[in-house]
Amino acid sequence: MAYLMAIDSGNTRVKWGLHDGCSWLIQGDVAQDRSMALRQAWQDLPEPLYVMGSNVANTKTKAALSEMLSCWEVKPKWITALAHQCGVRNYYADPSLLGSDRWAALIAAWGLQRQGCLVVDVGTAMTVDTLSDTGEFLGGIIVPGLGLMKKLLATNTTSLQRQEGELHDYPDNTADAIHSGAIQALIGAVERMNAMLTVTLGYVPECIISGGGSQQLESRLSMNTNVVDNLVLEGLVLIAKENSRIPV
């Protein structure tokens, strides 16, 4: 059996999965600073024939992951964004500078939709990217995610303390005001991009949303949404299939 190990190495977490060409056999999610847990999770897996990954963390993290993968004979293939792949055309000013996670997520979304849509990943940062009806990546935005937005505000404002807070329509305390403001800012960014893409496409597109913070936004967005777990991993599978790395 030709197994594919797909790895999504983000700023704070490593998501991974073993795929047999038809479905996921197992998936996992480990914090970047828990390398021992990752080694333990991988040690009993069947050896993959291919390893394909996306890394947006630093080069040290990438090297550490490659070292952990050296227990298998196969060498990992770390993707970079291309001008065209899997039916998606990349209109970034320099296609190679588009984050590999965003590129894989766009490919996965196109594989699901085959029409214009909004692609949202809610993690340490939130990205909101756009696809046309012909698979063109038109561009997108990056904003701090929920936790980072709250941390930045507390760090740079001496009178504010870091407290969790809750979402309310009309917050009446500082912790709730910060939390609600961050949520509303993220919702506003998504809905603004949705409004612009609606004008471009001539219809209201669906929103494909993924990432650890997706559940906090999904129910509050005034648009059709489809939550897809591990969108980057799904994109890596499609890239591997196009490159004949695993059976279709």
Give catalytic residues, as residue numbers. 101
The rounded distance, in Å, linking the Cα atoms of 112 and 133 is 13
Strand order through the sheet with 24-31:
24-31, 13-19, 4-9, 50-55, 77-78
The rounded distance, in Å, linking the Cα atoms of 10 and 16 is 11
* Helix H or strand E encompassing 140: strand 136-144
Listed residue (248, 247, 246, 224) closest to 115, CA to CA: 224
The pairing of strands 136-144 and 125-131 is antiparallel
CA 18 to chain centre: 18
